[in-house]
Amino acid sequence: MALVDVSAVPQHVAIIMDGNGRWAQQLGRARPLGHREGSLAVRRTVRAARRLGVRALTLYAFSEQNWERPAPEVQALMVLLRDYLVSERGEILDNEIRLRAVGDTERLPPLVRDVLEPLVRESANNQGMTLTLALSYGGREEILTAARALAAEAVAGNLDPEAIDASALEGAMPSLEVGPVDLLIRTGGEMRISNFLLWSAAYAELYFCDTLWPNYSEADLYDAVAEYQKRNRRFGRVEASVTEAQAESKSEPKGESKSESEAEPSTSIRHAQKNAAI
């Protein structure tokens, strides 16, 4: 296991959990077995991230495109998601983890939402790590939904079009509530980000590993963080301004007051956020 500097841990880690199906196929088993083993890797990773001091962990659990998979596989994934939430409820609450979900969660079946929504509400005031599950999520779709919400406000006369800037758009995007991604990890050997957190991960450090998700361990996460700590993050700027940019990315702890536009979003924006995050 790599040694890491606990004083320089990435504040927001996002993971594309890839390789469940290939893991099962290598064993000559059905794909749902890989997903079930992958849920154990989720448990390990959440625990490891919390111990490291990661403030926010976002997991790409189910994409918009995943609905196009065979119906039996989708059903198995929904049952597995429900089972995970039920089994991890105690650990989430006992460790002060705040659970969130982003994406078109209205598409999730009742068997998932009936467990997910109460747990999100019950953990809303927890002060530990924030765990965000991206469910029925697409990065382009999130940006489009936010843009439509702002456009609706402008048409209604509630928002000056000239006031629509990056901050306004970010205020309408639920994934940005926990701040931009510092480290984006993808397992399974593929080198693409698959429409995940496109805005939030604009300046993230990317880390790809060959480990299939069911095999992902605490040591793998430590390796990723150790590599992250070797890099010099410039955020597209010259060296002299890097320190300031890094300070800005860490200067807003959870619970800190936000700008008026973020603290009190207008009706259309709140509606868009409700549909995209619970």
Domain of 97: which CATH number? 3.40.1180.10
Residue 146 placed within a domain: no
Bridge partner residues of 100 (DSSP): 132
Residues 6+ apart with CB under 8 A from 14: 57, 58, 59, 60, 181, 183, 184, 185, 196, 197, 200, 201, 204
Residue 77 placed within a domain: yes
Residues 6+ apart with CB under 8 A from 181: 12, 13, 14, 58, 197, 200, 201, 204
Report pLDDT digits (tens) over 126-181: 999 999 999 999 999 999 999 999 999 999 999 999 999 999 999 999 999 999 99
Q: Is 66 a known active-site residue?
A: yes
Give the chain's domain count. 1
Residue 236 placed within a domain: no
Residue 161 placed within a domain: no
Residue 275 placed within a domain: no
Q: Give the mean pLDDT of 15-20.
A: 98
Residue 90 placed within a domain: yes
Distance CA 92, CA 74 (A): 25
Residue 258 placed within a domain: no
- Asked if residue 252 has pLDDT above 60, the reply is no
Distance of CA 253 to the CA centre of its chain: 17
Q: Give the mean pLDDT of 26-46.
A: 95
Distance CA 258, CA 242 (A): 23
- Cβ atoms 175, 104 nearer than 8 A: no
pLDDT of residue 234: 80
More confident residue, 140 or 259: 140
Burial 196-207 (b: 16+ CB within 10 A, else e): bbebbbeebbeb
Report pLDDT digits (tens) over 112-124: 999 999 999 999 9
pLDDT of residue 265: 46
- Selected catalytic residue, list 5, 18, 220, 223: 18
Report pLDDT digits (tens) over 193-217: 999 999 999 999 999 999 999 999 9
Residue 76 placed within a domain: yes
More confident residue, 245 or 9: 9
- Domain span at residue 189 reads 12-138+181-230
pTM for the whole structure = 0.84
Q: Is 182 a known active-site residue?
A: no
pLDDT of residue 237: 73
Angle subtended at Cα 277 by Cα 274 and Cα 278, rounded to the nearest 5 degrees? 85
- Selected catalytic residue, list 5, 20, 66, 160: 66
- Asked if residue 266 has pLDDT above 70, the reply is no
